[in-house]
Amino acid sequence: MKRYLGAFTIGLMLIGTSAWADEQKIEIKEYNFIPASLTIPVGTKVTWVNRDEIPHTIDDSNKLFRSPALDTDESYSYTFTTPGTYQYGCRLHSHMAGNIIVTEK
> Interface residues for other proteins in 29-68 (CB under 8 A)?
30-32, 52-55, 59, 61, 68
Q: Could you say which residues in the range 6-25 bind other proteins, by CB under 8 A?
A: none
Nearest CA among 11, 20, 77 for reference residue 46: 77
Which stretch, 1-9, 11-19, 37-45, 83-91, contacts other proteins (CB under 8 A)? 83-91
Strands in 59-60's sheet, in edge-to-edge order, are: 37-41, 93-103, 84-90, 59-60
- To the nearest 10°, the Cα dihedral for 11, 12, 18, 22? -160
Number of residues that bind other proteins (CB under 8 A): 24
Q: Does 92 bind other proteins (CB under 8 A)?
A: yes
User: Which of residues 9 and 62 has its CB atom nearest to other proteins in the complex?
Assistant: 62
| Contact between residue 88 and residue 61 where contact means Cβ atoms under 8 Å apart | yes
Q: Minimum Å distance from CB 40 to other proteins?
A: 20
Spatial distance between the Cα atoms of 62 and 85, rounded to a whole number of angstroms: 11
Residues that bind other proteins (CB under 8 A): 30-32, 52-55, 59, 61, 68-69, 71-72, 87-97
